[in-house]
Structures are given as structure tokens and as C-alpha cells.
Amino acid sequence: MGEHVIIGAMNNPKKEVAEQIHLFGESGFDFLELTIEAPNASPQKLAAAKKEINDALSAYNFGVVAHCPWYFSVAHPYASIQKATVEEFRRAFESAALFGAKKITIHTEWAPYIAPERQVLVAKTIETIATLHKIAHDLGIALLVENVSEASFSLDDFRNMFSELEVGMTLDVGHLLIEGEGKIEEYIRQFKKNIQHIHLHDNDKRRDLHLPIGAGKLDVPKTVAAIKAFYDGTITLEVHSEDIDYLKISRDKLEICWYGKRKHLQDKKYRSL
């Protein structure tokens, strides 16, 4: 199904956004995943830099997929804290709209141990996501929910949520690699109709390291083949490195697995003209 892969990169919120867009554009990426996060990509900072950022996006014909802070709770046991967090989500969604984002990703609860019981955790998660879905929908943005861990929100929890809410999924391959053998294929099999965005990165199967693909224990050819069999949307290489060469190497590995080495080299030569 996936004749073409759309490959993006995520900004480091400690750095200036427009500067990173130029770096990604000159490096041949297709879009920006804008993580709306302090210190340099908070809603306030993004609003102040709106023209500069939009000019940079236009220079490379970049679309935007947005991402909320991973540490925002969706199942906090204190109602006043959860209410305040929802308002911060709202500000992030409004920031995403400033740059034309049509999709925004949130995480399930990053600290699942805060819930007194599992059924409370799941119920509060779904309740908050329903609220956020309406806010995003009113702004013309599709809400996507990212898998974090089975302790946070399990495969069965996702299945139940999708039966209740019209939200999509951001499939995080690195997170699933930690969860155990076969989880990537199982999530693809269960949720291929719900997956609207993908995060691709590598690790040692124990820690969420965000390594370049091929630098950890991910079976890259097998994983890319499984994705290509059903998907033709956006993939963000969520590689956390100060050196962009590792990001470009990851893109090259993804393209070689997707297109084959000959076509990848032909395309690379064309881009360099």
C-alpha cells in the first residue's frame, strides 16, 4: 500500500524552532513535527515567533504535525490539577492551529502509578481524551493518542477507547519495542485502521533511548515492511541527538528499506542537483 513515505523530524524544544526548520529543510526532510514544549517552543514563545516560523515552513513547503509535552497528565487524581492541565493542552492545540497543523499527538498517562486503581486510571484517561477531542475538533485538528506502555494504557484499553471515541493513534515503534516480542506486529494488526501517524526510533529493548534506527535492537527491515504493507502517511524519525547526521542516516535506512537501494540512490542524486 505504501508507495511513498513522508518523513519528518521533530524540533528540540531547547532550541529555536525556525532555525531547526531550516536545518531540516536543507537536509531534505518532508515536514516538521512541532513539539509544543518549554523552554523555546511553549505556546507563548511560538506566538511571538509566528511570522519567522511560518516563513521558514513556507520556504521548504513544510506541513506540520504537532505534539504535546509527554509529561502532561491525562489521568491525574487531583481534579484541580487535571483541569489546569487540560487548559495547557488547549493552549498547545491553539498554538498548533497557528501553523496549520491538522494532527496533534498526546500521550496516555506518563505516570500510571498515580492512579489508586487500574479501572480509575483507564476511566480518567478516556474522560480526559474525550474532552481534548472536542477541543481539537473545534479547532479543525485531529487528536491522536500515542502508546506509552502497557502499564499506562494497554492494547485492550486502546481497543475499548477506539470503540467509544473517534480519535486516531500515533504508533510509537520504540515504545512497543520495549514492551516485548511481537508487540509492534500486534498493534499494527489490531489498529491499522486507527493509525494516522508513526514515531520511529530505536533502543536496546529495555529503555526509551530514542536512538538512530539501526543503532539498537529494532529489526528495521521487518518493521518497515510491516508498516509499508498498510500505511502511506507521515513518519517522524524521533531520534534524540545533537548531531543531525544520525537523523539523516536514519532517513536513508528508512528509504532504502521502503524503496530499495537503487531507487534511494537515484532519488538522492536527484535531490543533490
Give per-residue pLDDT as tens, 164-216.
999 999 999 999 999 998 999 999 999 999 999 999 999 999 999 999 999 99
Could you read off the pLDDT of 115-128 as tens digits, one per residue?
989 999 999 999 99
Domain boundaries, the chain: 6-271
Exposure of 221 in the CB half-sphere (CA atoms within 13 A): 3
What are phi and psi for residue 218, nearest 5 degrees?
-70, 130
CA dihedral sign, ordered 219, 220, 225, 226: positive
List, for residues 14-63, the tens digit of each pLDDT value: 999 999 999 999 999 999 999 999 999 999 999 999 999 999 999 999 99
- Global pTM reads 0.95
Q: Assign 262 a pLDDT band (cuts: 50, 70, 90).
A: low
Residues 64, 32 contacting (CB under 8 angstroms): yes
Right CATH number for 6-271 from 3.30.200.20, 3.40.50.620, 3.20.20.150, 3.90.1720.10? 3.20.20.150
Calpha distance 125→50 (Å, rounded):
32
For cell 532519488, name the residue. 267
